[in-house]
Amino acid sequence: MSGIFKCALRAAILFWLPHLAWAQEQLRAGVAKTVVTPDVHKNKVYLAGFGHNRIATGVHDNLYARCLALAAGGQILVLCSVDVIGLFYDDVLKIREQMKVQAPEVSHLIVASTHVHEGPDTLGLWGPDPLHTGMDENYLDSLDSQIVSTAVRASHSMQAARLELSRDDHPLLGMLQSVDRPPIVKDPYLFVMRLTSVDAGLPIAVLVNWSGHPETLGGENTEITADYPHWLCQYVENHLGGTAIFFNGSIGKVSTLGNQVALLDRDTGQIAEDHTWRKAELVGTTVGQLVERVLKSSETAAVDSILMRKSTLFAPLENDHFRVAEAAGIFSRRKPLYTDGKVDSSTIPKELTGTGVTRLATGHDLQTEVDYIELRSSERVAAEIVTIPGELYPELTNGGITRYPGADYPDAAFEPILRGHLKSRYQFIFGLGNDELGYLIPKAEWDNQPPWLLGRPQRWYGEINSAGPDVSGVVLRGLVELIEQR
Ligand SMILES: [Zn+2]
């Protein structure tokens, strides 16, 4: 038995049983959104996602926290999406604590980040230099509170609702995703949920699940924007009504940048270029149009219960950059390390190539969580939601893990493939759900030491922003355990 498997077994599994027949009730839904853009004139705002010391100079469009509350069978589930680069698990735990006080009737709360690369540094990694945080703790505390108040407002506004489900898996959707690290596997599936009020027939919300890094503006831009999710939500709200909520999906190595994503700008007759507002607008608007189109063939689901399961996991950290950052206080104690299930804040001095002697945090694991949700209709699984605490490589979602010469663990076992274990036609995957552990890379493709995969002269991008080669296995085995639990 591998150490990792033992690690997964240490997981504490909590779950709620599906409702009993007597508790049956009609689906209700409520929604709320709040502007969470930081004030760039009051404080220095370090922008996340590219290099260090990129300071916001203005606001192009607002960042939002958006929450959808769903109730059925005596359970209330709240799904929140926030336009930031990521939120650590400890923030989500704090948000849930506040929720318990303000809305104790809520059964479960999920908080995912859209991963915008043109918003405030909520992880601390993009400050003035590698040893100083870019995180503004006051902003982050107020963001946590704003997420809570948005979730509470959503749950307090619930009304009887009709649910429609849609899925678009046309092969051409892959043309909106760029992948340049082998294997070239994408996740070109668009999943949509629409909630409409039963009484008035008015739109409540449209939830969109699509995969792609919101990084179209690139590292030179200094104006805050939600990138393509801004135009996506705007299109959906203008054309379909209600509140749009976007959840990013399996976004490991999936980008809007590069000429694989070639969208015609009708104003110029040219393909819109990277790092332009126009390309971000075209990506968002195009996905919005696809949402509108696919809803024309939606399926109505009479959801009468919600099954919710979650598992707390410990994943081994094997990235010295993160250990240095932890010891330097970059994460502002919002991402503690654990050893044997207990917080471990110890550090040691260590000689590192190029940086001399520096301090390294020595705790063994990161604590995180995976969730599995079923929206059920007369015992049938109508739709599923899973949370991924990071950026999942699409071959872990759809299959296609490949052994290449140069891999560090050429004989590593393949992790379970997520969609192979899901049961319904509507498989919502919420990337950066409740945590951000960076890239989740198949162990067989892990390549942190030369020779590089396929004889490339330089390293592939990926491992530097991953917690380690065993994290994807811990996460996926944890999820499969939840999915298959009886
Ligand atoms: Zn990313």
Give distance in angstroms: CA of 105 to centre of ligand 1. Answer: 34
Residue 229 preceded by cis peptide, ω within 30: no
- Taking the centre of ligand 1 as the mean of its atom positions, its distance from the CA of residue 6, in whole angstroms, is 29
Quick one: what percent of the chain has pLDDT higher than 70? 95
- Rounded to the nearest angstrom, the distance between the alpha carbon of 115 and the centre of ligand 1 is 7
Q: What distance in angstroms lies between residue 97's CA and the mean position of ligand 1's atoms?
A: 28
Radius of gyration of the chain (CA): 21
Kindly state the average pLDDT of the residues 273-299: 98
Cβ-proximal residues to 141 (8 Å cutoff; 6+ apart), any chain = none
| Residue whose token pair is 């809007």 | 256
Measured in Å, residue 112 CA sits from the centre of ligand 1 at 13
Domain residue spans of the chain: 11-307+375-446
The pLDDT of residue 266? 94
CA of 118 to the centre of ligand 1 (A): 12
What is the rounded (10 degree) CA torsion for 219, 368, 467, 349? Answer: 110
Structure confidence by residue, pLDDT tens digits, 161-180: 999 999 999 989 999 999 99
**pLDDT single digits (tens) 402-444:** 999 999 999 999 999 999 999 999 999 999 999 999 999 999 9
Q: Give the mean model confidence (pLDDT) for residues 438-465.
A: 97
Separation CA 129–CA 221 (nearest Å): 18
* Mean pLDDT along residues 200-228: 98
- 475/354: higher pLDDT: 475
Q: Is the pLDDT of residue 244 over 60?
A: yes
Residue 391 pLDDT level (bands cut at 50, 70, 90): very high
Q: What is the pLDDT of residues 63-112, one digit of tens each?
A: 999 999 999 999 999 999 999 999 999 999 999 999 999 999 999 999 99
Token pair belonging to 82: 């926030």
Distance in Å, CA 19 to ligand 1 centroid: 37
Query: If you measure from the C-alpha of residue 323 to the centroid of ligand 1, how many angstroms do you get, rounded to a whole number?
Result: 19
Residue scoring higher pLDDT (4 or 261) = 261
Asked whether residue 129 carries a pLDDT value surpassing 80, the answer given is yes
pLDDT score of 351: 83
Instruction: Report the alpha-carbon distance of residue 279 to residue 59 in Å, rounded.
Output: 18
CA of 466 to the centre of ligand 1 (A): 10
86 Cα–ligand 1 center, Å: 9
Residue 450 pLDDT > 90, yes or no?
yes
Output the pLDDT for position 1: 35
Distance 73 CA to ligand 1 centre (A): 37
Between the CA of 219 and the centroid of ligand 1 the distance, in Å, is: 13
| Ligand 1 center to 438 CA (angstroms) | 7
Residue 150, pLDDT above cutoff 90:
yes
Give CA separation, 131 vs 4, 137, 356, in Å: 30, 16, 14
pLDDT tier, 138 (very low <50, low <70, confident <90, very high otherwise): very high
What's the pLDDT tens digit per position in 14-67?
444 444 443 457 899 999 999 999 999 999 999 999 999 999 999 999 999 999
Q: Kindly state the average pLDDT of the residues 133-146.
A: 98
The predicted pLDDT at position 220 comes to 97
Query: Structure tokens of 134?
Result: 């870019």
Please check whether residue 222 is in contact with residue 120, taking contact to mean a CB–CB distance below 8 angstroms. Answer: no
What is the C-alpha to C-alpha distance for residues 351 and 176, in angstroms, rounded to an integer? Answer: 44
How large is the average pLDDT for residues 309-316? 98
CB 128 within 8 A of CB 55: no
